[in-house]
Structure 1
Amino acid sequence: MGHPRTTPTARTLRTTAIGTLSAALLAGAVGVAAPAQALPDAQRAATDAGPAAASGVRFHDIPGSGGITLKGNVFTPAGADGSRTYPVIVLPTSWAMPQIEYVAQAKKLADSGYVVVSYTSRGFWLSGGQIEVAGPEDIADASAVIDWALAHTPADREKVGMAGVSYGAGISLLAAGHDKRIKAVAALSGWANLIDSIYGGRTQHSQAGVLLGTAGALTGRPSAELQQTLKDFLGSNLAKEEDMIAWGRKRSPETYLPQINSNGAAIMLGNAWGDTLFSPNQYARFYEKLTGPKRLEFRPGDHATAEATGLLGLPNDTWTSTHRWFDHHLKGVDNGIDREQPVQLKSRTRGGYEGYPDWKSVGANQRKFALDGTRTIRANVDSGANGGLVLLSNLLDQFVKLPPMASVPLLPRSYASVWQSPRYTSTQEVRGTAKFRTTLTSNKESGTLVAYLYDVGPLGVGKLVSNAPFTFHGQPAGKPFPVDLELHSTAYDVPAGHRLALVVDTVDPLYIEHNPSGAQLTFSSPASDPSYVSVPLRNK
């Protein structure tokens, strides 16, 4: 993954791509938000350096940290003439996206009385610098953009907010721990712990890593540090594991939790149950540790798909909550969001929202199922149970209720261990985090297993409820050791007449596995330490 060459031809192609994408998104956003006859004016506003009708947009070069230039745009409320100030919201772009990403939402915010400054994160597209993956330079950029907004727009220095999707969410949370001026944050599809996100269970999430690395190389200039870290990560360079963990820790909002809590910004977190880049578990743990005003929302989907329609200007629950969050915490609007249950969940299998006072209450009804007997499986063959494809599988689950599936009776028991519950006589609601505990013996010192929880219908077809990987290194061959594994948190309804099945195998296309040739894994349940799966389950 090398640096893209910035020849005149490459620059021309890149500029053309930005212009084409900008025009398309601007046209789509304004077409949704305004009558058809307003479209020509909106298009002129995107290219004219002068004031625009209604909420105006202007494109600017914004000084970033270290002398680089960030490409940004500014939306101001209609009639803004410098006689008064307005709350300001700063929007860093997502990974590989240019500053026009937020045009539709920025216009809506400006129409409701906000100054909105969006900028292309450093290292991407036409912004300067290199991709630092939310490193110190990116945090300094966020503060520099706030400085610029306070100096060059009618922004109120007492009412500063930050928001973003994915990469922009992570930068926003990190900035909240470093800049006391930030009073409210909406972090959508972001991360709190980068290591738990893409190296959870000590297992490389390979599809996620390849996707991020490829998108970064195509749209920006990865730093030498990023290139080396990604090479070590995907190459399973265990000699550099501690360095990789330290690299990720520096870029994790959880590391700066004391500062975030001390600064006191009101923080809203939103994510999708099936996010294959940033698992909901790490967001939920982070949420519980926040001490200021906070809100947590989980919905069906994959990475950034819950917010996607809102970026096109379409009605969208995530962005509606974001607007309400800022209205209350920056404008002081009494819209009732502070009196609602702060944890809001939407099930993957039915509509409507459920409110809870905290995350602990979500999975309060844990039911243990014994995993009896001793099972041995051979490694390095995909049994047919898997978590699907990054972005695609959970997008299908979101829109057509079609999660990854497997025929549980046909799974080869030589390569997959299977335990099943009795059939349920009533609908069972899975809410929260399932946990798997077992005693594992391997004939090799390293290995990987992947656990899956399936909803199994009368014909034996299992729909994936949750999954998670686990990798071990340096375990003496033939010596049993305990394994504790949290599956990805979810909200799923198991219909009456169905049962739950726990399946464990050793290969999944989502992950890099570490099973040597000839590896075998044995799962046992000693009387002194019985194996079980604990599922947050309740009758509907």
Structure 2
Amino acid sequence: MPIDGAAENPFALAPDDIARLEAIRDAMLDPSPRRIGRLDQWGLADTYETQAEIAEYREAPIVMSDGTAIDAGLTVPRNLAPGQTCPVIVMPAPLNPLGRLAYFGMIPRWSLGGYIVLTYSQRGLAQSKGEIQCAGPQDVADGGEILNWLTQHEGVDPERIGCFGASYGAGTSLLLAAADPRVKAVAGASAWGDLFTSLYENGTRHIKAFEALVKLFDEERCSKEFRNVIDKIRRNIIDDEVKEFARLRSPMQHLKTYNERELPVLMTTYWHETIFSVPAVVDLFTGLQGPKSLLVQIGDHGNGELLGLFGGVSKPTEMAYRWMDHHLGGHAGDGSQPQFGIRSEYMHNLLSNLSHRDWAAYALPKQRFHLGAVPAGQQDAPMAAGQPQPGWTRSVQAAGPDTGIVVAPKLIQTGLAERTGLPHVYKTAEIKRDVAAVWTTAPLEQAMRVQGDLEARLTVKPQAENATFIAYLLDCDPATGRAGIITHAPYTLTDQQAATVTFRLQPAHYVLAAGRQLQLIVDSYDPFFADDNTIPSALEITSPQGSESYIDIPLAPLP
């Protein structure tokens, strides 16, 4: 899907996409031949002519108890028999200036499937009044009032209500479901599990993603509480207020409630997700005890569901239709049973489609690769199985912007390019070795796969009060020195103390060709993260006896 204004807003839609959504809204409000005919330029006239025949769409603000008007649209099947009731899909909006209009491409499928559909923009978003609460308790309370309003309508089956949302809408859906037992199933695309770890991973602020989201929220529309938290995060004041703000907005805190109700939960995420923590989504999925499904795709936040949101076919939306049909009794899907457990693609094969019953069955056993010293006459150190390698020290100078290694050159768009088979190429042979430490395996004798959780242990001593370092695992071609990123993780140390730290990297599913090398790179700067290095200074990476440095990789031959 083309993106407009990417440098300023990685989430921005192309003008043609905006025009299409607005034309759909006009045709749904006034299904006259002239209005519907305008959709012919996108090949949608027949779809929305059928939509107008089978369902009625109307818009009206839903006024909350405090007087705040929430912008909403309701689609109800026509010609319901007396006493007939229908399953219902409630769709809180993604974080988008268009708000709930982003879902208009999905409404015909839900309508054809016999569903009543309610779309709404959360408080302060798009055309809704009030201040933005960032999926806070007020948004959850609003959701409850919206359900009260909805269940008063003829045709609504109060025992068959489900929530679908993308991104901001996914989080809102999960939080609403935890608070209100009337929600019987949830499907969340590009979901989050824990907001704090998404903002602050291993003591490191995800500043680039944070600022992109804040710009999309529009600070002037945010509540005083939210603006205060924004200011504190910018100033690196991560106190109890910030932690509590994030906790109240984290589905993970409701795990017990989900399990007591055996709530059916479908979530989707990405291997190269740069907005929300993938380990936290995996942890939430693993902890769920009711019906559950997790889809992990190639790319970054929102990449995979875009086409489905606009009315096309995508894995996240097709899975959502089947999920709701199974649990609510509609028929929006293709008639197939939903996918339970884990469904995944591996990088970078968009046509791949693997299934596993749970994360334990999915993740390969880890192999430990010990990090060694730089041999005489060479610039890089070995990374190999076998015996631990103690006794070495490597110095990494303050990197600045010239390492050439970053998590993603562009939020969202780097992942979108991966989905089209064009992953970013890293020129690791050109990295200045004084600003990065590099460890490399021998060339692989056969094709291998990385599949599951990764973990590293390093002993690091900063030469200033605070110091950030970032570890990247790459797939390198030894013939060219060019590489693709497999995974990464940041870490920030404080108090100028040497520390042995063990930390998770983002999980991965990556296929390596024979002859390639795994390459671990550690440096001290990435514009994706806040630069918490107190002053430009060096890091010392060591491997003391008994706490030798290593990386654990879930690696096995390709079947």
Same fold (TM over 0.5): yes
Following superposition, the deviation at residue 67 of structure 1 comes to: 2.7
Give the match for residue 319 of structure 1. Answer: 317
Contact 1:428 1:537 in 2 (8 A): yes
Following superposition, the deviation at residue 245 of structure 1 comes to: 1.3
State the secondary structure of the residue aligned to 1:401. Answer: coil
Give the match for residue 441 of structure 1. Answer: 461
Q: Which whole-Å CA distance do the structure 2 matches of 1:396 and 1:28 have between them?
A: 33
Deviates more, 1:24-33 or 1:148-157: 24-33
Deviations 1:299-337 (A, max 9, x none): 112111111011111111111100000010111889563
AA in 2 matched with 1:342: G
Of 293, 300, 303, which residue of structure 1 is paired with 2:301?
Answer: 303
Give the match for residue 106 of structure 2. Answer: 105
Q: How is 1:190-229 mapped onto 2 (pairs within 5 angstroms)?
A: 190-217=191-218, 221-229=221-229
Contact 2:27 2:48 in 1 (8 A): no
Identity, % of aligned pairs? 27
Equivalenced residues, count = 508
Give the match for residue 480 of structure 2. Answer: 459
Give the match for residue 377 of structure 2. Answer: none
Change (3 A) 1:144 1:242: same
Q: Which whole-Å CA distance do the structure 2 matches of 1:327 and 1:301 have between them?
A: 27
Following superposition, the deviation at residue 37 of structure 1 comes to: 5.3
Change (3 A) 1:336 1:19: closer
Give the match for residue 548 of structure 2. Answer: 530
Following superposition, the deviation at residue 70 of structure 1 comes to: 0.8
Corresponding position: 1:420 with 2:440: yes
Q: Which whole-Å CA distance do the structure 2 matches of 1:419 and 1:261 have between them?
A: 43
Give the match for residue 368 of structure 2. Answer: 368
Contact 1:380 1:515 in 2 (8 A): no
AA in 2 matched with 1:265: L
Give the match for residue 91 of structure 2. Answer: 91
Give the match for residue 230 of structure 1. Answer: 230
Q: How is 1:467-486 mapped onto 2 (pairs within 5 angstroms)?
A: 467-476=488-497, 480-486=498-504
AA in 2 matched with 1:387: V
Give the match for residue 134 of structure 1. Answer: 135
Following superposition, the deviation at residue 233 of structure 1 comes to: 0.8
Of 393, 400, 421, which residue of structure 2 is paired with 1:400?
Answer: 421
Contact 2:470 2:489 in 1 (8 A): yes
Give the match for residue 283 of structure 1. Answer: 281
Contact 2:170 2:190 in 1 (8 A): yes
Deviations 1:172-209 (A, max 9, x none): 11111111111100011021100111211221111111
Q: Which whole-Å CA distance do the structure 2 matches of 1:93 and 1:450 have between them?
A: 34
Corresponding position: 1:163 with 2:184: no
Deviations 1:359-382 (A, max 9, x none): 122223211110123211112423
For normalisation by structure 1, the TM-score amounts to 0.89
Gaps of 5+ in 1: 1-16, 46-51
Contact 1:77 1:112 in 2 (8 A): no
For normalisation by structure 2, the TM-score amounts to 0.86
Give the match for residue 248 of structure 2. Answer: 250
Give the match for residue 61 of structure 1. Answer: 61
Corresponding position: 1:381 with 2:379: no
Give the match for residue 6 of structure 1. Answer: none
Q: Which whole-Å CA distance do the structure 2 matches of 1:116 and 1:36 have between them?
A: 19
Contact 2:103 2:309 in 1 (8 A): yes
State the secondary structure of the residue aligned to 1:277. Answer: coil
Contact 1:85 1:156 in 2 (8 A): yes
Q: Which whole-Å CA distance do the structure 2 matches of 1:516 and 1:167 have between them?
A: 34
Change (3 A) 1:310 1:298: same
Change (3 A) 1:94 1:23: same
Give the match for residue 3 of structure 2. Answer: none
Deviations 1:47-80 (A, max 9, x none): xxxxx42222211211335331111111223433
Higher helix share: 1
AA in 2 matched with 1:207: K
State the secondary structure of the residue aligned to 1:141. Answer: helix
Q: Which whole-Å CA distance do the structure 1 matches of 2:151 and 2:525 have between them?
A: 52
Gaps of 5+ in 2: 1-15, 29-35, 374-392
Q: Which whole-Å CA distance do the structure 2 matches of 1:450 and 1:39 have between them?
A: 49
Contact 2:113 2:330 in 1 (8 A): no
Change (3 A) 1:186 1:39: closer
Following superposition, the deviation at residue 22 of structure 1 comes to: 4.2
Contact 2:88 2:161 in 1 (8 A): yes
Q: Which whole-Å CA distance do the structure 2 matches of 1:160 and 1:122 have between them?
A: 21
Change (3 A) 1:37 1:380: closer
Following superposition, the deviation at residue 513 of structure 1 comes to: 1.5
Q: CA RMSD in A?
A: 2.5
Following superposition, the deviation at residue 81 of structure 1 comes to: 5.3
Change (3 A) 1:297 1:28: farther
Contact 2:194 2:277 in 1 (8 A): no
Q: Which whole-Å CA distance do the structure 2 matches of 1:40 and 1:163 have between them?
A: 21
Deviates more, 1:130-139 or 1:347-356: 347-356
Q: Which whole-Å CA distance do the structure 1 matches of 2:485 and 2:26 have between them?
A: 39
Following superposition, the deviation at residue 475 of structure 1 comes to: 4.2
AA in 2 matched with 1:108: R
Following superposition, the deviation at residue 154 of structure 1 comes to: 1.4
Contact 1:273 1:279 in 2 (8 A): no
Q: Which whole-Å CA distance do the structure 1 matches of 2:272 and 2:26 have between them?
A: 31
Change (3 A) 1:501 1:40: closer
Contact 1:28 1:313 in 2 (8 A): no
Give the match for residue 430 of structure 2. Answer: 410
Contact 1:378 1:520 in 2 (8 A): yes
